[in-house]
Amino acid sequence: MMKKFILTVCGSLVGAFLALVVFGLCAVAVSFSIMAAFAKSEVQSIQDHSMLYIKLSGPIAERSADVSGAASVMAMVQGQEGSSSLSDMVKAIEVAKTEKKIKGIYLDCQGAQASAATMRSLRNALLDFKASSHKPVIAYGYQGYSQGDYYVATVADSVLLNPVGAVDVHGLAAVTPYFKTLLGKVGVKMQILRVGTYKSAVEPFMLDSISPANREQQSLFLGNVWRVMAGEMARSRDIAPAQFNAMADSLMLTMTAPALKAGKLIDGTCYKPEMEDKIRRIAGLEQDDDLRLASPELVASHYDNGSNKDGIVAVVYAVGEIDGSAGPMADGENIDSEKLVATIEELRNDDDVKGLVLRVNSPGGSAFGSEQIWRALEQFKQAGKTFAVSMGDYAASGGYYISCGAQRIFADSTTITGSIGIFGMIPCAQELIENKLGVHMSVVKTNANADMATDYGIVSKAMTPVQLAAMQNYINRGYDLFTQRVASGRGVSQDSIKKIAQGRVWDGISARRIGLVDQFGSLADAVDWVAKKASLNTGYYEVKEYPDLEVDLRAMLSSLYGMKQQERLAQSMGMFYTYYRQLEAMAGRRHVLCLMPPIEVK
């Protein structure tokens, strides 16, 4: 018996030792990878006869996830190629305009995943490149062009396609799942508290299909966004808008390459080796030379951020849900209100910082967190510093809350904004718990509503009329405060804001018409405006991005773990994975929300 015990203990010790050795080796390997990424991230020279290579594939983030190179390490560990950010691509295009070693731009279209405003920012940067540099832009669809890819590619001098590829342009549609019947089947009823007829984030949990108000707002913003996109694509290809829409209605995906060319949708076809030969000729290389493709990250590293002689214009990124889930299973980037407030306070106290552009790409989130960010930005203004907002794909609900105090609001015509409303959802699982699971709660309490403070208490039974009324008053006060903030920021009456609020979602064109947006423009336009407003001389101020990004090995490994978990779930659940994530996000929220509904637009 003793011998067996000793062998067991020794075996455990050896196993633990081996585990430590393996972990140590992994840590060393990752450390070396990070150091290599650091070295790689240093400014490298651009080879002569290069093409700026922009690969449109996968999600396009606002900025690089980690300027230190940890993101590159994560991509390497996963055996994937890291995707370029919008910031890097736009900066690289700006550099390429005047960099003599870069002979043109090669768009490799492989299915980018981004909303209209992001793709339009990239498209506009390419148009400016062509007008300023007179260098060629050439686009290629190896398997074909997705709608977003094609929208960008239509600015190219040549739009080329694999002979057996396809072009998928079909218009825009918003798809929203409704869960009321499903929740009813499992014995859960959502207790809805909201202000705003158009505040549709709660609809999937209280209805079985779209409401007339929600259909109205979705039809308006989808129609306006599509008119912009379709009109620009049609003009670039010299096609009448009506004819272009007719082709989009005719299942363009099924059209043959000759038919696409006859319809002026593409310029020609070629296989990939032939495409690479074309790129060599444009770059001035011989046929047996290797292609010299400069990545956006490399070219962007040569971008001139200016000289800090007059001061700094800070670009602060607010991307994702405000105080959303930050665990390893979180989807994408989120805004930590406490950290963002701390960043804004640091900039307010920094004498070198003369102005701030808040780059907002957020559907909103916590009402409490939104108020804290709003307050920090107000204090920034009170310090005598200039504050503007640049809106990306979304600046809705809480995203608009944190934007409304800006001295100037810039947006794209395809930006989705507004959604000035507030709501709360409290599930009642009494039917599930008592009748389906057979669990019965016993409560002992000192006060009438003491059990509402517990998770079991709040979901195990329906709220009383008194509790519902109190919670609705709480929501009403939040809405009143929200509309006050917007009215003050926009310099109009609260009543006029309430007329256009009610949780209604607006596209950029409509938002500018009703006064929620001041000007159409890019992030660079917002920076220029702040610099002029702060009396900074061109070339004598520096543009710096915040929050600072650092290597965080623990966060990197946690993120990697979360990605792997999501991949496994997505593979096993298929089309139902999206619905699962929405329900999981709903269940994990513990605060009153200023949040735009998750709408899948395709």
Q: Would you call 40 a catalytic residue per the annotation?
A: no
DSSP per-residue codes, 183-232: HHHHT-EEEEEEE-TT-GGGHHHH-SS--HHHHHHHHHHHHHHHHHHHHH
Q: Would you call 189 a catalytic residue per the annotation?
A: no
Which residues are within 8 A (CB) of 143 and not within 5 positions of it... i.e. 6 or more apart? 110, 111, 162, 165, 166
CA torsion 158-163-164-167 (nearest 10°) is 20
The one catalytic residue in 397, 403, 460, 510 is 397
Q: DSSP character for 375? A: H
Which residues are within 8 A (CB) of 488 and not within 5 positions of it... i.e. 6 or more apart? 404, 405
Q: Are 595 and 364 in contact (CB under 8 A)?
A: yes
Strands 386-396 and 353-362: parallel
Q: 3-state class of 80 per DSSP?
A: coil
Cα–Cα distance for residue pair 369/339, rounded to 1 Å: 11
DSSP per-residue codes, 548-568: -----HHHHHHHHHHHHHHHH
Taking Cα atoms as reference points, which of 458, 321, 464 lies closest to residue 401?
A: 321
409 alpha-carbon distance from chain centroid: 19
The one catalytic residue in 55, 103, 135, 199 is 199
Q: 3-state class of 57 per DSSP?
A: strand
Which residues are within 8 A (CB) of 572 and not within 5 positions of it... i.e. 6 or more apart? none
Cα–Cα distance for residue pair 239/513, rounded to 1 Å: 29
* Cβ neighbourhood burial of 156 (10 Å; 0-12, 13-18, 19+): buried
591 alpha-carbon distance from chain centroid: 22
Axis-axis angle for helices 116-133, 86-98 (nearest 10):
10
* Cβ neighbourhood burial of 41 (10 Å; 0-12, 13-18, 19+): middle
Written as one letter, the residue type at 597 is P
Cα–Cα distance for residue pair 457/463, rounded to 1 Å: 10
- If you search the block for the tokens 């690479």, which residue do you land on? 276
Cα–Cα distance for residue pair 84/100, rounded to 1 Å: 22
Cα–Cα distance for residue pair 321/326, rounded to 1 Å: 10
Give me the active site residues, please: 199, 397
